[in-house]
Amino acid sequence: MTDTSTRFREFKMPDVGEGLTEAEILKWYVQPGDVVTDGQVVCEVETAKAAVELPIPYDGVVHELRFEEGTTVDVGTSIITIDVAPGNGDAPAAPVAQTSAAPVAPAVEEAEPKGRQPVLVGYGVAETSTKRRARKGTAAVLEQAAAAAAVQAEMNGHSGTATATAARPLAKPPVRKLAKDLGIDLATVTPTGPDGVITREDVHAAAAPATAPAPAAAPAPVVPQPVAEAPAPVAAGARETRIPIKGVRKATAAAMVGSAFTAPHVTEFITLDVTRTMKLVDELKADKDMAGLRVNPLLLIAKALLVAIKRNPQVNTAWDEANQEIVQKHYVNLGIAAATPRGLIVPNIKDAHDKTLPELAQALGELVATAREGKTTPAAMQGGTVTITNVGVFGVDTGTPILNPGESAILAVGAIKLQPWVHKGKVKPRQVTTLALSFDHRLVDGELGSKVLADVAAILEQPKRLITWA
């Protein structure tokens, strides 16, 4: 008789965002009866910060999905049961998935898998090969399990005959998908991230030598775009519709209220002629050193802000209420506000101050692409110091942006429009925009805030200052 305490494993909702208490199950990628392998993504969940794919840390067969899609589940609650020894006796019937996040009594107490390395969530592959008895009389399931294991081993950077003595390459699910799309074996990639984690930049660097000499680009893989949740049908004659506050919207609301009523905001405005900047954008698009990179006005605005911060480093600070200290940041993690189908998010470019213009362009492009795919990780939205919000893409002239919590300043960029402007003593049509800089008046006084905004404007009016001031 099989010991059910070792046969069935409960996978619990992990904390995927540093202290978050719940997550909503967006989509199941498996169903009861499906064969799964260690490290395979089984579902996608949305926290208050981002959508994250969860890999399962076991080999086996899905026995039960404990919650339906759309259910919000507390961290630590079992969400899926895996039969790790299928075929060893009759399994108890799997109950119907629950629709509420009430605590569920797990079939067994999950023991931490031994010999595995921590990845984003769950555990990596075991140090020794996983063996289990095949289900009696089910040759098809056995073949399916072998094929799935071979595919997963290839994705994890192992060959079919190699022993599992080498550690599994550490990378987050979006990075693994990128490597798969580019045909890159993660085991051959040199990691540069913290604790040996492979980043998107590492994968692109590994792919660059192989893709550079190619005479023609292969068709890009079709990536399904996240679709905003369709509103519930409205009954004829209904005067109101109530929408649950959850996920990114809930987190954004809490952050904006906290910021608006904690940091005393001051906003200053400046209208300027950016004709020379627009000409430089056109020239950079034709520059071979910028080939394949995303070049637009936002790139040069971001670079201008970084130069202004370098000239006025006191603006790059944070208020530590607990310790009653002002924290001077000697690095710039540049946040870029992005509107996504799930709501507003603000991922940031780590150490943007150290990046060259091509490196900044690449980072911006990847940030935008990841946000549109709905794959921005919680880590990418933490640790920001200063933010840019581009309201001009909606045709808006300017606004009074609210600070991202923990940051000292945010720059709003308005629409760039052809307007009459006095240039060299004559009224001429010029490319004109308006910038708005909001800052925390506890940290930044009027003089400092004005200097930062004036420096950004001066650079955009005369882009050569990117060289002379940098």
Residues classed as catalytic: 441
Radius of gyration of the chain (CA): 26
Closest by alpha carbon to 361, among 398, 330, 336? 336
Separation between Cα atoms, residue 342 and residue 351, nearest integer Å: 27
> 23 phi and psi, to 5 degrees?
-155, 150
Among residues 351, 386, 385, 345, the alpha carbon closest in space to that of 368 is found at 345
Rounded-to-integer distance, Cα 254 and Cα 257, Å = 5
Closest alpha carbon to 22 in 360, 251, 269, 217: 251
Task: Assign 172 to helix, strand or coil.
Answer: coil
CA distance to 152, 220, 234, 389, 444, per residue, from 334 (Å): 36, 29, 41, 11, 18
- Beta-carbon contacts of residue 122 (< 8 Å; ≥ 6 apart): 11, 14, 54, 55, 56, 57
In a 10 Å sphere around its CB, with 0-12 CB exposed, 13-18 middle and 19+ buried, how is residue 203 labelled?
buried
CA 41 to chain centre: 17
8 A C-beta contact, residue 23 and residue 90: no
Q: Token pair of 10, please?
A: 């409960």
What whole-number distance in Å separates Cα of residue 192 and Cα of residue 206? 12
What is the rounded distance in angstroms from the CA atom of residue 52 to the CA atom of residue 46? Answer: 6
d(CA 298, CA 97): 47
89, amino acid identity: G
Angle, nearest 10°, between helix axes 275-285 and 446-461?
60
Rounded Cα gap, residues 283 and 314, in angstroms: 33
What's the rounded Cα separation, in Å, for the pair 270 and 247? 35
SS3 27: strand
